[in-house]
């Protein structure tokens, strides 16, 4: 994790310096005597503006999850389990919300421990068998709260958000003409930073997921319960239609398991539906590479194996 944080610090500094160099080079080309100061001002103004626009247009995760709150009266068993786990992890009892989706979602939303919403979908509750498995999943999510993972990941992903915002805007400019002297290098720089930064943040996210698994196993005293719960949810996700997974993909990085298809959807072509799409092997390989580089969760079988080893050590 230390290596990932150092890598992100290096990427952030490199991104800031790279944007400054682009503006500085343009100003020097036009023989501006105050190129250094003006380039610095433009760089800061550009990145602050991009950051503001990116975060302003983000919908709240709670709205994306489409969940409604429940309490002690409406969901007594769920409230009791959550209260007990919160006490064991020494975090405030979260607001509990239920989503009507069949996709198995489980996530904790919020930056501060005292203002957390625990969101569970009906798909998750139905897929799990018994209180022990539900308790294990809740413990995993509240372990993220104790570890302040939402705050950490938001901070470290800032260069990725800025790079993505800059990339999306400069690449949308058609026929840039004279401004291409700025937009072309900025597009190349922001794309490079986005790829490298997202790869590093994904690695850090996977480490936080493993830490939450271990904390949940310790607090519940049953690594096997979480392992079985992950297996059940993984099977439920595998059986979920691709369309439904795409609708839930906006909260995928926060859920207990990733909510995106392991393989791209394959639609056979031809009059008889027996023709494979062109370059299907390339699309499948690209999809797998993206999951390998940018996946926010470790492979489920690796998590289950690690939990099984913890169970044997008890």
First to last CA, the chain: 26
Assess whether pLDDT exceeds 50 at residue 58. no
Q: What are 98-140's pLDDT values in tens digits?
A: 988 888 999 998 777 778 889 999 999 999 998 999 999 999 9
Cα-based angle 44, 154, 188 (whole degrees, multiple of 5): 50
Furthest CA-CA distance within the chain? 72
* Model pTM score: 0.84
**Using 50, 70 and 90 to split pLDDT, how confident is the model at 59?**
very low
The answer to whether the CB of 272 falls within 8 A of the CB of 199 is: no
The answer to whether the CB of 22 falls within 8 A of the CB of 186 is: yes
Assess whether pLDDT exceeds 60 at residue 64. no
- What is the number of other CB atoms lying within 10 angstroms of the CB of residue 30? 8
**Using 50, 70 and 90 to split pLDDT, how confident is the model at 92?**
very high
DSSP string, 192-241: HHHHHHHHHHHHHHHHHHHHHHHHHHHHHS-HHHHHHHHHHHHHHHHTS-
Summary mean pLDDT of the chain: 85
The answer to whether the CB of 215 falls within 8 A of the CB of 147 is: yes
Query: What CA–CA distances, in Å, run from 162 to 25, 165, 188?
Result: 21, 5, 14
Neighbour-count burial of 92, counting CB atoms closer than 10 A to its CB (0-12 exposed, 13-18 middle, 19+ buried) = middle
- Euclidean distance between CA atoms 92 and 112, whole angstroms: 10
Q: What are 217-266's pLDDT values in tens digits?
A: 999 999 999 999 999 999 999 888 877 777 777 777 888 998 887 777 66
Mean pLDDT of 187-194: 90
Q: What are 166-187's pLDDT values in tens digits?
A: 888 887 777 777 677 888 888 8
DSSP string, 236-269: HHHTS-HHHHHHHGGGGGGSSS--S-SS-----B
- Euclidean distance between CA atoms 180 and 173, whole angstroms: 9
Contacts of 292 (CB under 8 A, 6+ apart): none
The residue ranking higher by pLDDT, 11 or 235, is 235
Assess whether pLDDT exceeds 90 at residue 36. no
- What is the number of other CB atoms lying within 10 angstroms of the CB of residue 208? 20
**Which run of H or of E encompasses 68?**
strand 67-70
Q: What are 195-221's pLDDT values in tens digits?
A: 999 999 999 999 999 999 999 999 999
**Using 50, 70 and 90 to split pLDDT, how confident is the model at 65?**
low
Q: Residue 218 corresponds to which tokens in the numbers above? A: 């310790």
Q: Tell me which DSSP letter residue 111 carries.
A: S
Mean pLDDT of 27-43: 81
- Euclidean distance between CA atoms 290 and 67, whole angstroms: 29
**Using 50, 70 and 90 to split pLDDT, how confident is the model at 62?**
low
Assess whether pLDDT exceeds 80 at residue 33. no
**Using 50, 70 and 90 to split pLDDT, how confident is the model at 40?**
confident
The answer to whether the CB of 39 falls within 8 A of the CB of 20 is: yes
């Amino acid at each position: 994790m230390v290596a990932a944080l150092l890598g992100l610090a290096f990427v952030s500094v490199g991104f800031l310096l790279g944007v400054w160099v682009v503006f500085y080079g343009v100003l020097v080309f036009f023989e501006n005597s105050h190129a250094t100061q003006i380039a610095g001002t433009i760089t800061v103004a550009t990145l602050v503006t991009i950051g503001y626009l990116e975060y302003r247009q983000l919908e709240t995760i709670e709205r994306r999850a489409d969940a409604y709150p429940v309490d002690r009266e409406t969901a007594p068993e769920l409230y009791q389990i959550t209260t007990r786990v919160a006490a064991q992890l020494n975090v405030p009892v979260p607001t509990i919300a239920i989503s009507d989706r069949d996709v198995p979602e489980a996530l904790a939303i919020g930056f501060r421990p005292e203002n957390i919403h625990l969101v569970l979908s009906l798909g998750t509750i139905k897929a799990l068998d018994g209180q022990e498995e539900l308790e294990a999943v809740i413990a995993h999510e509240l372990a993220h709260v104790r570890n302040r993972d939402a705050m950490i990941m938001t901070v470290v992903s800032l260069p990725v958000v800025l790079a993505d915002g800059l990339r999306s805007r400069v690449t949308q400019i058609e026929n840039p003409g004279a401004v291409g002297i700025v937009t072309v290098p900025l597009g190349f720089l922001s794309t490079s930073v986005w790829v490298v930064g997202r790869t590093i943040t994904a690695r850090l996210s996977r480490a936080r997921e493993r830490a939450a698994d271990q904390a949940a196993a310790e607090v519940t005293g049953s690594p096997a319960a979480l392992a079985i719960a992950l297996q059940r949810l993984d099977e439920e996700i595998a059986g979920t239609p691709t369309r439904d997974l795409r609708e839930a993909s906006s909260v995928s990085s926060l859920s207990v398991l990733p909510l995106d298809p392991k393989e791209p959807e394959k639609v056979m072509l031809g009059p008889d539906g027996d023709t494979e799409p062109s370059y299907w092997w390339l699309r499948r390989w690209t999809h797998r590479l993206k999951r390998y580089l940018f996946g926010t969760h470790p492979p489920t079988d690796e998590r289950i194996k690690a939990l099984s080893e913890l169970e044997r050590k008890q």
